[in-house]
């Protein structure tokens, strides 16, 4: 498998909270330290509670690209 964000070959991936990319643990760690991470998690949680299960995220900040 390849990380959708950095292209690194990995064994497992997680879904980004900012968009729909499948990302590696290294990119997940970078994402978790971003100032808008809490906002992204809150927005996803609100979407799920509203019945929106295909939420596309709040958008990937340019500094995480």
Q: pLDDT tens digit string along 5-27?
A: 999 999 999 999 999 999 999 99
Asked if residue 47 belongs to a domain, the reply is: yes
Asked if residue 4 belongs to a domain, the reply is: yes
Domain tally, the chain: 1
Write down the pTM of the prediction: 0.92
- Indicate the SS3 state at residue 47: helix
Domain ranges, residue 24: 1-56
pLDDT of residue 58: 98
Asked if residue 65 belongs to a domain, the reply is: no
pLDDT of residue 45: 98
Q: 30 falls in which pLDDT band (50, 70, 90)?
A: very high
pLDDT of residue 36: 98
Q: 29 falls in which pLDDT band (50, 70, 90)?
A: very high
CA dihedral angle for residue 25, residue 14, residue 45, residue 52, rounded to 10 degrees: 160
């Amino acid at each position: 498998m390849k990380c959708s964000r950095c292209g690194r070959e990995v064994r497992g991936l997680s879904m980004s909270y900012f968009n729909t990319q499948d990302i590696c643990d290294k990119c997940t760690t970078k994402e978790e330290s971003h100032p808008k991470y809490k906002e992204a998690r809150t927005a996803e949680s609100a979407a799920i509670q509203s019945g929106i299960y295909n939420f596309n995220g709040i958008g990937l900040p340019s500094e995480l690209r």
